[in-house]
Amino acid sequence: MYPSYIRQHGFDSEQTRFAGKYGLYLYRDTKYDRSDQPTGIPALFIPGNAGSYKQVRSIASETSELYYDKILRESDLQNNGVRPIDFFTVDFNEEFSALHGHSLLEQAEYLNDAIRYILSLYPAARKNQQVDSSIQPLPDPTAVIIIGHSMGGVVARTLFTMPNYQPGSINTILTMATPHILPPAPFDWQISKIYTDINDFWRNGYSQGVTPRNSLADVTLISIAGGNLDTVVCSDSANINTLVPASHGFTVFTTSIPNVWTSMDHQCILWCNQLVKAVAKSLLGVVNIRRAGQTESSQKRMTLFRKIFLTGLEDPVDLDVNIPKRDPFGVINFGKVSYQFLDMGQRLVLNGSVSAAKAYLMPIPPPAPHSTLNTFSFLTDQSLLKDSGVDILLCDVMTKEIPEHNNKIDLSVNNLTLPTAPRLSCYSVSNEASLVPASRSDIKSIIHDKSFNFLKLKVKELGDYQYIAVVFSKELVNGFLIGEFVDERITLVDINTSMKDLLIDGIHIDAFPEHFALVSMLRIPVIDSSLLTYKMSIRRTGCVDQQIFAPFLRQSISTMYESKFIVNVGDLDLNIHGQAPFVTPVSAPNSRRGLELQFWMDPTCSAPLSLDVELDLYGSLGKIVMRFQMVAAAFPFIIVVMTLRAQLREYDRGGPFLSFGHGLALFIRQTFLKFLVIVSLLSIYQSITKASKTYSLVDLFPMDYASGDMQKAIKAKASFNVNDTLLGNQDPFFWFLPPVFFIMSVGITTLCWFILSGIVRILTFSVVFINRRAKCVTHLVNRPSETKASILFRRAHKSLNTQESWDRYHYLQSILVLLFMLLPLNLPVLMVWIRNMSVHWFAPFSWDHSVMAIAPVIFYVEIITSGKMLPRSTGRNSQAITSFILFLITVYALLYGVRYTYLLYFSSLGFLSWLILLHIRESLWVDKTLIVYFQNILKFNKKLS
């Protein structure tokens, strides 16, 4: 690997207004390509939040190595339009695109300009290339391939919604560890709006009747998720099944990708060698330089992506796409071939060595109801690639003479000879086999370079074929092969237990399966939540040393493409990913509820398995915390607001301003239980609402006087979805999470108050100590006289004992806690601002991140630090308004604080603005009273005179 990054200086300020902020580079691996001009097919890498443009290195280098060391030597691929890929990459100066929506929009605008510039480089470059005159001239490219990491995938989808997007300039997008559904940190209103806009755009972009500019008919999107090891982005949010139809995209986990098999963290997904090889293979597989879009048709792209990224064991989504074409193998004349016929239903088991030029024929059972054998299963450790020496064929007896295929087998007879030697016409199904990880007693980890081939065929889909033939054209040495017809229904076991029994007692199976077969299925419908993890222990006693291969299993769910393979089964973790919160569930075709465990076991061994499944409490807590991180910002804020409301209520009634601790105790004693009941009821209602329930003002307040169009407009503008509230939970079992989080938030708030109070006390004692030391020094130097500073300090110290001073101290402490809770909402913007300053980018932020957005905080801090105390609201109207504002903030934060966290800050600005008005009103009242007082004095003096 010899990376080189060539800066595209031609992409300057005349091409884009962000030339001074960002940079465009062309990657070259100098071992293979020393040209500084693009020569192949354009692709663009988009880094994620705080990502580097150099992260393209692993994928680009592996793609170059695969092309120049292998594909370049295959003339067929060259003739099909495969060419090297020119990887362009973008330097965003490691910008925090996940924290600032305006930065994300700037990146999208820059990238559309960059794509236009990249495409403009190729007409001249291709004219300079030496092209054979007999070959049709290559078209100028009209599209680029996009690879996006993390937030780079969101930026890639945003490109289509920008005004400067060039229709048709993007047709293939590959994202890695991208949070497609929800923003990972919803602290900015603009980034939440961007998510809403692009998700609506993509949901409607594949519909019929959309304009060509908004059409996504030729766009394919593949989302690769890292799984459990990705602790930066929750992989539930990478699921695009609600955004893209199955014909144009899917979500796959790295644990499902053949020869990868393992989970990956957020950065590892870019450089893991197994995954990088699969990505490089897929990119070179879909390119076609002879098409203007530089790629194959969307149907061919999806076929190849499914072949490379999926195991083949998933339920088919579109049979027209997923069933591969069966190539004719040729004619087998068994008058000249060594062969062996098996009886109907007899299992084929080969272990060790098999001589070359031999065929085994298994008669295909008739379809139901004439036979219960409905599935053919086949497993081998041998390669089934072309010319590998092993072929799996579907054959039927030829009833008339036809010209023999060039691939006919002519092998010597070494077995029994039929009276009339049949001739079979065969088709190969070897390419339909799926790769599964190899499992032997000496293999302890899923990460290895060995694999098995597994083939599963339904009898009803075999048509008129009469035999399945296993043909060896080369000698099999130290290998195994197992094939059988079984009744799949008896190999499937459903564990119908309740969630209560599962959590309390677990699942214990002493003998599984009852009917021994190569493949058995265990389905547990109750395990369908991504918030719970389990511990599973599998044991098998007997025939361990004699088994052909060690038992292994595949853990999967049917709602999305997530598979996990566990080899040489023993103790393992069970956990799944599922629907992201705040998203309306979409049922996938052939979806079934629950976890599915597919076991492969040596059928020649009659020893059963014993299984034990128990809840993993600590693992489940970790997943819950990972899923609902924003609760730590929203719910403690509610506690602070409710405490402040209790403090102000007591203060306005004429009592002292309570300390934050006393106010918190008062809130818990008077309001907490009522509030907890309301939260529980709302959570129960949300969790039992099966569909996406939407309410509007028309539903709540019927408007008979309004026209139909007006009512529709009101519903569209003033409506709310039940799924957007609270935690977005749609699982009835987890109705208790909001009240539990609410209780935990009391502890979080109390801890924050203790920490802040301790810091204030330490600083106060430090200041008092320094002042006392200064007083002592002054007294010793100038003993007869007392300095002015000491007099002021003595007076201030005495004033601390007054009730007014304590009221002000407690009030300032409560305001400090409130502003501290808002700190996480403002720190991300500060980080973005500092980053822009560091790269000398001084463009102003949007209005919500300007000085005006923080003006109420600045003004109010200036008021309270000048020595003024909040005036009491003696009138009922003022008290009612203060209480009502805090109540509205509480309700809104409870319903939308987790989904739209940024609104907590704006609601606080409204409350601080009201407090400023109270101070202004008090000041005006005082000024008016003084004026009247002096006017009365003047009148009295005139009378005396």
Please spell the DSSP secondary structure of 415-439, one letter per residue. Answer: S---SS--EEEEEE-GGG-EEEE--
Active site residue 883: no
Q: Are 644 and 889 in contact (CB under 8 A)?
A: no
* Of the candidates 638, 730, 632, 625, the residue with the CA atom closest to the CA atom of residue 675: 638
Distance, CA of 756 to CA of 816 (rounded, Å): 8
Structure tokens belonging to residue 503: 């959590």
Q: Say how far apart CA 359 and CA 411 lie, in whole Å.
A: 10
- The residue type of 632 is A
Alpha-carbon distances, residue 187 vs 234, 353, 580, 827 (angstroms): 17, 65, 19, 9
Would you mind telling me the total number of residues written for the chain in this entry?
945
Three-class secondary structure of residue 469 per DSSP: strand
Backbone dihedral region for residue 24 (phi beyond 0: left; psi -120 to 50: alpha; all else: beta):
beta
From CA 668, how far away is CA 611, in angstroms rounded? 47
- The whole-angstrom separation of Cα 67 and Cα 289 is 14
> How many whole angstroms separate alpha carbon 404 and alpha carbon 400?
11
In angstroms, the CA 809 to CA 166 distance is 60
Residue 266, both tokens: 């957020």
DSSP symbol at 460: G
What interhelical angle do 660-667 and 631-652 show, nearest 10? 100
Name the pairing type of β-strands 348-354 and 694-696.
unpaired
Within 13 Å and on the Cβ side, how many CA atoms surround 898?
A: 23
Query: Distance between CA atoms of 591 and 542, rounded to whole angstroms?
Result: 37
* Contact indicator for 334, 424 with CB cutoff of 8 Å: yes
User: CA-to-CA distance for 510 and 391, rounded, in angstroms?
Assistant: 38
The DSSP 8-state label assigned to residue 312 in this structure reads S
| Helix segments in 129-172, DSSP class H | 151-158
Catalytic residue among 61, 150, 223, 529: 150
Task: Identify which of 233, 236, 228, 280 has the alpha carbon closest to the alpha carbon of residue 254.
Answer: 228
Amino acid at 409: I
Structure tokens at 360: 């085994």
| Amino acid at site 205 | G
In 718-802, alpha helices (H): 737-781, 788-799
Residue 615: in which H helix or E strand, if any? strand 609-616
Give CA separation, 805 vs 760, 818, 859, 918, in Å. Answer: 16, 20, 21, 19
Per-position DSSP letters for 575-616, written without gaps between them:
----PPTTS---PPTT--SSEEEEEE--TT--PPEEEEEEEE
- Would you state the structure tokens that stand for residue 547, as one six-digit string? 């088994």
| Alpha-carbon gap, residue 396 to 417, rounded angstroms | 18
Radius of gyration of the chain (CA): 36
* Cross-strand pairs, 380: 453, 481
Structure tokens at 635: 């719910």
CA pair distance 580, 238, nearest whole angstrom: 9
* The dihedral sign for the CA sequence 741, 746, 747, 750: positive
**Which residue is it, tokens 């319903």?**
895
CB atoms within 10 A of CB 272: 19
Active site (catalytic) residues: 150
